[in-house]
Amino acid sequence: MAEKKKGRLTKVLDYLKHDDPFSKGVAFCPGCGLELLLRFIPRVLGNDIVITGTPSCSAPVLLGQNNQSWHTLSYFGTLMTGAAANATGLVRYYRKAGIDNTVVCFNGDGTANDIGFGNLSGAAERNEPFIYICYDNEGYMNTGIQKSGTTPFGATTTTTPYGTVSRGKNLRRMNLGLKMAMNKIPYTATATLSDLDDLARKLLKAKEAKERGFCFLHVFAPCPTGWGADPADTIEICRQAVKTNYFPLWEAENGRIRMTKTVKKPKPVNTYTKLMKKFNHMTEADHVILQDDVDYEYCLLGGLSVLEAECQLPVSVKDQGETS
């Protein structure tokens, strides 16, 4: 038999130091980005994290049924409205009782950017020592694909349908990651599933930084069912989101923004949008609007990272310290 050409095992595997605490058969749709992310987190951070979850696509798996569970993590199944406050209560008690902990407050964009934003903001202000992870599938998927604050311009959802007087969402998406970084919390980062080593590194960094306070990870996680995409394309969608600057990868320590991946020649946004049906109806003019938005946000991000470097960090923020 001919000698087989061997590559090197991807280094992402080195980050997966812990067991997958989830049952093998759980009811996420085929190709669901959320499933990949959810299994990935405890494999990197360890199985002794406490995870909180809210009504969303993640809930049927995170939360048990009667006495039974889908995974072996400690979890707190809670309300969309108060997720970050729940995590706050946990970490404050653990601190008082001297119990080591890594609390991961895991929520969809519906909770993080919309209905639960008030308490997310409060937790950031108080610099509560836990990791908030928002998986962004750009809508309320569990209730049947409705628009959220992170649904992009043009996208169709069941509440922003395409019709004679409407061409999908007629509003910009909000930049959740940037909103959080502006609070000067110890660690903010964006991540996605095509760049798993980047994601793993950011998770580990957050675990370290949460000793100094609040950490926020904004993870772009495609929903093939809701977006009208081929389940096989989930990773490719993430990749193109990065390559078009639609979802740039960056991190911010104490609010200081740094790109973790720079795209030399960004592709036009339609190389991304063509991968799914939710943008199908968009005209060239619509694409110009979306492209404009993407360019603006990216430009702003670059500008901020330069400005941040020029500005002297206030002592109050410096006192938070930095990750080694």
Q: How far apart are CA 93 and CA 96, in angstroms?
A: 5
Find the helix packing angle between 196-209 and 33-45, rounded to 10°: 50
Q: Which of 127, 146, 159, 225 binds ligand SF4 (CB under 6 A)?
A: 225
226 lines the binding site for ligand SF4 (CB under 6 A): yes
71 lines the binding site for another protein (CB under 8 A): yes
What residues from 178 to 217 belong to the interface with ligand TPP (CB under 6 A)?
Answer: none
175 lines the binding site for ligand TPP (CB under 6 A): no
137 lines the binding site for ligand SF4 (CB under 6 A): yes
Q: Which stretch binds ligand TPP (CB under 6 A): 23-31, 107-115, 254-262, 299-307?
A: 107-115
> Residue 192 belongs to what H/E stretch?
strand 187-192
277 lines the binding site for another protein (CB under 8 A): no
**Minimum distance from CB of 300 to ligand TPP (Å)?**
24
Determine contact, residues 71/25, Cβ cutoff 8 Å. no
What would the two tokens of residue 172 be?
């910009």
**Spacing of C-alpha 314 from chain mean position:** 28
Residues 8-37: x/- map of binding to ligand SF4 (CB under 6 A)?
--------------------xx--x-x---
- CB-wise, 222 or 255, nearer to ligand TPP? 222
Classify the phi-psi angles of 110: left when phi > 0, otherwise alpha if psi is within -120 to 50, otherwise beta: alpha
Q: Which of 56, 58, 102, 254 binds another protein (CB under 8 A)?
A: 102
What would the two tokens of residue 37 be?
């992310």
- Cα–Cα distances in Å, from 183 out to 132, 150, 207? 14, 19, 19
Name 140's bridge partners. Answer: 146
- CB-wise, 30 or 303, nearer to ligand SF4? 30
- CB-wise, 52 or 160, nearer to another protein? 52
**Minimum distance from CB of 262 to ligand SF4 (Å)?**
26
Q: Which residues contact 279 (CB under 8 A, 6 or more apart)?
A: 154, 155, 156, 168, 273
φ, ψ of residue 53 to 5 degrees: the values are -140, 155
Partner whose footprint covers residue 143, from ligand SF4, another protein, ligand TPP, none (CB < 5 to 8 Å by kind): ligand TPP
Chain positions contacting ligand TPP, by CB under 6 A: 55-58, 80-81, 107-111, 115, 137, 139-143, 148
Chain positions contacting ligand SF4, by CB under 6 A: 28-29, 32, 34, 57, 137, 141, 223-226
